[in-house]
Amino acid sequence: MNNRTINTKQLLSTLWIFLTVNYIFCDVFSLYYSEFLKQLLIGEIDGILFTEKFLLSFAIIMEIPMLMIVLSKILNHKQNRVLNIVCGVLMIVVQIGSLLTANNTLHYYFFSFIEICTLVIIIWFAWKWITPEQLIKTDKTTMQTR
pLDDT tens digits along 57-79: 999 999 999 999 999 999 999 99
Q: What is the pTM of this model?
A: 0.85
- According to DSSP, residue 141 is labeled H
Helix (H, G, I), strand (E, B), or coil: what is residue 41?
helix
Is pLDDT at 98 greater than 70 in this prediction? yes
Q: Output the DSSP codes for 50-110.
A: --HHHHHHHHHHHHHHHHHHHHHHHS-HHHHHHHHHHHHHHHHHHHHHHHHSS---HHHHH
The confidence score (pLDDT) of residue 5 equals: 55
Is pLDDT at 22 greater than 90 in this prediction? yes
Q: Which of 13, 117, 118, 107 is nearest to 66 (CA)?
A: 13
Residue 28 CA to residue 33 CA, distance in Å, equals 10
Is pLDDT at 32 greater than 70 in this prediction? yes
Is pLDDT at 113 greater than 50 in this prediction? yes
Amino acid identity, residue 9?
K
The confidence score (pLDDT) of residue 1 equals: 47
